[in-house]
Structure 1
Amino acid sequence: MGDIRRRSAVVLGLTAMVIPLTLALGTAPAQAASCTTKAGPYQKQVEKFLGRPVDGKQSSADCKAIRAFQTKHGITPNIGYAGPVTWGVMDLMNKQKAAGKNPNKAGKCPVNKGRIACVDLTRQLSWIQDGKKLVYGPVPVRTGRDGYETRTGLKKVYWRNKNHHSTIYDVPMPYAQFFDGGQAFHSVGVSMWNPPGSHGCVNMTKTDAKKYWSLLRTGDEVYVYGRKPGT
């Protein structure tokens, strides 16, 4: 493949660096100095998710549990505040869990294409199926943030590079499998729920990206549908 096409793939498929947002959105720069004593608007939902006593009141133990969750999944500021981003991540996890081993129950990903990689932007899930048979997954993914949405539709894997690296931004993109312009499956080291998202690529854990690499080939189809929350 020519240099121009490869350069385009690098620029368009580059994983977004996490950009801090304001507290109103549930994120802010730098590490938090201490836990907040303020109850958030999603206090009861967050308490229930974490298995805490559901009383809607912020306690020291509540804050520590919320803060640990935020730290693990890259939500900043990690001050233990039950805001919309923290609850949004938890709500998405609940929906992913509900998908179980039948992610295509609604039949939105084609079952007449043979082996195909499906990407559900709404639930931030991906899986590989062969007809109606689930081959691998579903697994959580991290797709394009607002303004850099992962494009929907039927596509094909057209270029694979196991050790891809962006020389422009000096960012590794291991197990890269490009399927639409510069948009690709590839692994990243951040949490799959780390806001705000990629620059269009479908981010995966190293384990899942490696498995996709072993299961997919150039020419295999990819179907992307739905809409990512917040876009």
Structure 2
Amino acid sequence: MRTRTDRYTRGVRAAVAAAVGVLALATLTAGCKVETVGAAEPTALPAKMPSPSTSSPPTPSPDDAKPGGDRPSPSDTPSRTPSARPSPQPSTLMSVGDRSERVRELQARLRQIGHFDRSPTGYYGDATVASVQSFQGKRGLPRTGRTDTVTWERLLAMTRRPTAKELDPPAAPAAAKPDARCMKGRVLCISKNSRTLSWMIDGRVVSTMDVRFGSQYTPTREGVFSVYWKSRHHVSTLYDSPMPYAMFFSGGQAVHYSSDFAARGYNGASHGCVNVRDEGKIASLFAQVRDGDKVVVYW
């Protein structure tokens, strides 16, 4: 009886133990599955972490270096150096042969600054060409003699608008009162004070023109003389310079046309001769004067 009871008890205990083992195994298995589902997968650590001081930025991929994939950046585009374009040439506003009120203004403005010392005529002749060349040369511009846009703008900046009297001055310069020695006969009456020559016949003034004299080193002689030789196309043998319409009255001194006087005015001087700058007037005078006519040079 006791043996049967013991066997029964051992059987019950074994059954209970087996049941408990099955339950424990089930619980353990269920716990592993929960941990496996709920946990993040482990990240593999590098074998050695780089030091901050020795780390270098990652090399960008070609697509990182060029935004937009294979589209080149501006720096990758071959540079093109623009070809040098020639500066536009200044256009010509006035040149030889022109006749206009604008030419008259040009001459008046040049006269304000000593480059055109005759009355404006409105005609662009040789005297105007020489005056423009003188102005251009002094300002470092090409001495073309033509009035282009650059020359005109420079002249406008240096001068003022000419007055009506400057644009159209009296036809003849104001001559000084004739010397008493000029009142009889045919006389070239030349005043150093007014810088004028008056062609007079029996006390009447026929024509008057501007004149220029010699410097202090080569002065024009004063006194009463007479014309002893006329030379239409004379060239000085001493200075090798042209002396057109020359009318000699004292040694090598003569009344004659001077292109230098026409271009430079009173900025220059002669070598003792009496220079005339109006070629038309001196040509007319040359045709009227005779050998033996009186010449009076005075202050």
Contact 2:110 2:116 in 1 (8 A): no
**Offset from partner CA, 1:138-172 (integer Å, 9 cap, x none):** 21011111221111111000111111112443311
8 Å CA contact 2:220–2:273 kept in 1: the answer is: yes
Counterpart mapping for 1:5-154 below 5 A: 65=109, 69-73=113-117, 103-104=175-176, 106-136=177-207, 138-154=208-224
Q: Which amino acid aligns with 1:189?
A: S
What code does the residue aligned with 1:220 have? D
Count of paired positions? 145
Q: What is the Cα deviation at residue 203 of structure 1?
A: 0.7
Q: What do you get for the CA RMSD once the two structures are aligned?
A: 3.1
Provide the secondary structure at the position in 2 that maps to 1:103. coil
More helix as a share of residues:
2
Tell me the TM-score normalised to structure 1 length. 0.54
What secondary structure sits across from 2:254 in the alignment? strand
- Counterpart residue number, 1:43: none
Shift of 1:209: 1.8
Change over 3 Å in CA distance of 1:195–1:225 after alignment to 2? same
Residue 101 of structure 1, CA deviation: 7.6
Alignment-derived partner of residue 286 in structure 2 = 213
Instruction: From the superposition, tell whether residues 195 and 168 of structure 1 become closer, same or farther in structure 2 (CA, over 3 Å).
Output: same
The offset of 1:66, in angstroms, is: 7.1
Larger RCO, structure (CA 8 Å, separation 6 or more): 1
1:196–1:71 distance in 2 versus 1, CA, 3 Å: closer
Offset at 1:181? 1.0
Cα distance between partner residues in 1 of 2:240 and 2:285:
24
C-alpha distance 166-127 of structure 1, shift in aligned 2 (>3 A): same
Query: Would you say the 8 A contact 1:186–1:204 is kept in 2?
Result: yes
Higher strand share: 1
Among 168, 176, 201, the alignment partner of 2:246 is: 176
Distance 1:150 1:99 in 2: 26
Q: Distance in 2 between matches of 1:212 and 1:204?
A: 11
Change beyond 3 A, Cα 1:207–1:98: closer
Following TM superposition, by how much is the alpha carbon of 1:202 offset from its aligned partner in structure 2, in angstroms?
0.6
Q: Give the direction of change, closer, same or farther, for the CA distance of 1:71–1:99 in structure 2 (3 Å limit).
A: closer
Q: Is the 8 A contact 2:243 2:257 kept in 1?
A: yes
Q: CA deviation at 1:69?
A: 3.0
CA distance in 2, matches of 1:184, 1:108: 20
* Aligned residue type for 1:212: L
TM-score by length of 2: 0.42
Which structure would you say has the larger Rg? 2
Is the CA contact (8 Å cut-off) linking 2:255 and 2:275 kept in structure 1?
yes
Report the identity percentage: 31
